Structure 1
Amino acid sequence: MAYISFFNKLGLFTSIPYFLLNIMITGKDLERIHAYAVKEKKKIIFIFDRYKFRLVINSFIHAEDENEYIVQWRYAFGSMVPDQVLRGFKIKEIVIKDVKGEKRLKGLSDLLKIIPRFY
């Protein structure tokens, strides 16, 4: 990551695509997250930086707005599939809700550390 800031100081990069800095998530990882959410009865909300829609995983994967109203996937994310959304948008925070309360995480790597490998 140091080389990116070095090139920024030289003025060679005006903006860096977020996917270069983001952890790569696969469809298999997304299946693991979904299985964890279903089995543990949790609602996992991905809040993106400077974007009004959220990706939500509970018993099914869907899109919501800031007021937690379900919106059409195509309206929120177009033709992107969920793992493309997670790779393409900068994640501001991840909220995990259950009956006990909620937990806030900073990124995908924190979420994948919480989920056991057997899911």
Structure 2
Amino acid sequence: MALVKVAGIRWAVEESFQAAKGQVGLGHYQVRGWTAWHRHITLAMLALALLAAIATAQPPSDQDRIPLTLPEIRRLLAALILPQHRSITDVLRWSHWRRRHQATARHCHYQRRSEP
């Protein structure tokens, strides 16, 4: 039983590292010293913690769209913070459309899988 518990904990850690590599660039470091490596890893994990906190703090969404995911939150923050030629209204409208489209796709997928 203890081995299963340890394997389950390891799975969660591996998932976190994969999310950090994909979303905040945990694996994109080119440093020579321990101090620089430590700074990079600390900032990447802080960024992942911020994304996770935002994802956790969001209110329940409607049935017509999925909740904000880590990649979607990262895209929204980048679109709102980095200088671009799109307005905030356009960025939010695009996010709403995308999440509604993903919810429709999820619903159709579940409906098709439940058919005999």
TM-score by length of 1: 0.24
Instruction: Select the structure of larger CA radius of gyration.
Output: 2
Q: Which structure: greater helix fraction? A: 2
Give the strand-richer structure, 1 or 2: 1
